[in-house]
Amino acid sequence: MIMETERFSAFSHRDFRLFWFGQIISLSGTWMQSVAQGWLVYSLTKSPFYLGVVAAAASLPILLFTFVGGVIADRYPKRNLLLLTQTLSIIPALLLGVLTSLGVITVWQVALLAAFLGTINAVDVPTRQSFLIEMVGRGHIVNAIALNSAAFNGSRIIGPVIAGLSITYLGMPACFFINAASFVAVIIALRMMEARGERKAASEGVIRDIMRGVEFIRSHREITRVIVLIAIFSLVGIPYINLLPVFSAEVFHTGPRGLGFLVGASGIGALSAALGIAVAGDIEKKSRFMSAAALCFSVALLVFSVSKLFWVSLIVIMMGGWGMVSYLAVANSYIQVSVPDELRGRVMSVYSFVFLGVAPVGNAIMGVAADVLGATRAVAFGAVICILASAVFSRGTNPFLHVRPGADEKKS
């Protein structure tokens, strides 16, 4: 029988434990803000187009700056970078809370603050991803990625549900103020850590530094295919989350409480995927597993788009959450154990670019499509493209792809 310490081996590292518990609190606040911000924008405009605009504003800086963020992550101590990014992230949350409380908030102010936070995340995301292996080592990286994903998706359940209740009983500004306070937890955790992320890469110039990460991915065919499918999902699949306020208000007529449950249901599926991978450890035949997970997400998205029953939609959105996180977690671990230490920040910046950076284009596409065709047809359109892309991925990858975590340890 597998012992609990073996199932969750990354927790044997004190720094990772501190990081993980800080993340749970901080990310729950972030999801509260995400739900409240979506409802705020929809309340101000009654337009799915503006939901797409604000979501695009949040992710456009990642499109523009995440490669530079990867270079910064490889050059400087990662713990110090994360302390800076987490502290700066308090500012937009506080400003949203104050402006909403005063009743002077406009959709363009929301968009500007979302863009400011996105600029911070352009450095934060690749730094956070590449810092994991420095806390736990190669041998425990798969478990750390799965547990980190569990923290993200556990907060995705906690945050939206609390947000729905907070909006109903405390008012919308409470969500923004609670999020601002939640960053203190991860700041304290980071300050208590012994790991500093001291590995630094010698610079060959910013452009050359960026291209070295891109060239590594281009030279590995399987990684390229994984990255391309993530990009397609980010363009026409994942943006459905920004249209959930429309589904909650116009399709299911459930208001902010229903919105919280929809986002939370997706989080339940995602959390079950992350915990399942953490318990399973390494997964044999990674491409076959990723193919099944990608199809699960895509088909669930199509069923969600045509469902008119709230309980059916909760079930399929859970399945979609499971499929998406199963695919992303295994893809992330495969990339991380394949990349040399000195390139990790830059390679993970490419991962962040296709996962988050192309989202402004996807959010804009889906926002316009929802405005013209309606939210349900727009999501159905994206789901069909995701199904086709997943089928192509399934036919083109090596079904016997298998990389053991720590397999490269002798080389490093």
Task: Indicate the domain borders of the chain.
Answer: 12-192+206-396
Choose among 32, 14, 41: nearest CA to 245: 41
Q: Are 337 and 408 in contact (CB under 8 A)?
A: yes
User: In this structure, what DSSP letter does residue 253 have?
Assistant: -
Burial class (CB in 10 A: 0-12, 13-18, 19+), 5: exposed
Q: Tell me the whole-structure pTM to 2 decimals.
A: 0.72
- The encoded tokens of residue 132 equal 């994991």
Phi, psi of 45 (to 5 degrees): -120, -25
Residues in the chain: 412
Digitized pLDDT (tens) for each residue of the chain, 412 residues in all: 343 445 677 888 889 999 999 988 998 998 899 889 988 998 898 877 788 788 778 878 887 888 888 888 878 888 889 999 999 999 999 999 999 999 999 999 999 999 999 999 989 988 888 888 788 877 777 788 888 878 877 787 788 778 888 888 888 999 999 999 999 999 999 999 876 655 555 556 567 777 777 778 777 778 888 889 999 998 999 888 878 888 888 888 887 778 878 877 887 888 888 888 877 766 666 778 888 999 999 999 999 998 888 989 999 999 999 999 889 888 887 787 777 767 777 787 788 788 877 877 887 788 888 888 888 899 999 999 999 999 888 775 554 344 444 444 333 3
Assign domain 12-192+206-396 to a CATH class.
Answer: mainly alpha
Query: Residue 249: how many CB atoms within 10 A of its CB?
Result: 19
Nearest-10 crossing angle of helices 14-45, 255-280: 150
